[in-house]
Structure 1
């Protein structure tokens, strides 16, 4: 599978808002909060044109009962998909068959995963030079590996892990971390 990177599109925030409303309708009172994460949430950097959404729910054990509702909104249900106590959903564009949305659902008590995502996003927004370094790395990997997804993901891994550690420390010191 080939990875496609596009210049930052200000419309991505609108796609997040629209789809967030659908997710709010699905979860109702189970939803605690919802966040735009991933590279499309970071202004001015290129990204895969897939909107990452992180709903935070009151109880992760209740999420599976909403699977049918997600399917009604054209989502594919993936369960935990390799991360314990997460629920993962994807949505494809019906015309192009390309992924539009990745939805990563976490329990509101899962500070570790919530902080990891929010810290990385906020750190790259706060430090545009780090965001630019990340963008440059992604572009280099796309060119070097001709868009090969596995090579692309593996190539970013070290940068992401290192930046994530810095970001979490910064986030916890400055934002006090995610709290109810």
Structure 2
């Protein structure tokens, strides 16, 4: 379907709720996938990436996410992440928990920012989608579009909730990551980690 300008705000609502639930367990929370690229036609599915220090320390994120109603897909075959789906009855949402600094965590951020900065690449990516038939498996019924998390603000400033650890930073826009105070500052614009080329945040510039 054509790009929907409401997608960033939809992510921002989720990001606010996830930050309150996870606190510093999440180094950053990002909008990834096709719906994170302005102007790109996409399936109406919000993809969210939560970056954590370790996938093995599941206590830090598994219980908070399931208590939000997210459904843990333990049988997901991709072992570089832990995968969750939306609460039953809500619009389709994919939550990917990945290890901070790993290739699988950096790649979707790099790809997203590349498409945001390169119109030609965005156009070539959009073309096949615009002529494709709607996929009934991902079409969101009109009645489910109104069912969104309601535990915080979706404005440009993230207001800490009652469960947010003291000192958690608040500045957030729907287009940015919900970053934890414990995230290394070198990650603020995606610098090189583990010699993997990553996006620096400036159009036309790669480092690594």
Instruction: State the SS of the aligned residue for 2:57.
Output: helix
- Indicate the residue corresponding to 2:205 in structure 1: 174
- Indicate the residue corresponding to 2:43 in structure 1: 48
- Indicate the residue corresponding to 2:12 in structure 1: 17
* CA displacement 1:123-159 (0-9 Å, x = unmatched): 111111111111111233x24xx6487xxxxxxxxxx
Q: Which of the pair has the greater relative contact order for Cα pairs under 8 Å at 6+ separation?
A: 2
Matches for 1:123-138 after TM superposition, within 5 Å: 123-138=114-129
Matches of 1:63 and 1:175 in 2, distance apart? Answer: 33
Runs (5+) with no aligned partner, structure 1: 1-5, 150-167
Q: 1:121: Cα distance to partner? A: 0.5
Runs (5+) with no aligned partner, structure 2: 138-195
Instruction: State the SS of the aligned residue for 2:122.
Output: helix
Tell me the TM-score normalised to structure 2 length: 0.62
| Bigger shift: residues 72-81 or 123-132 | 72-81
Matches of 1:79 and 1:176 in 2, distance apart? Answer: 35
CA RMSD of aligned residues (A): 2.6
Tell me the TM-score normalised to structure 1 length: 0.70
Residues 80 and 123 of structure 1: CA distance in aligned 2, closer, same or farther (over 3 Å): farther
**Ranges of 4+ aligned residues in structure 1 off by more than 4 Å:** none
Residues 76 and 119 of structure 1: CA distance in aligned 2, closer, same or farther (over 3 Å): same
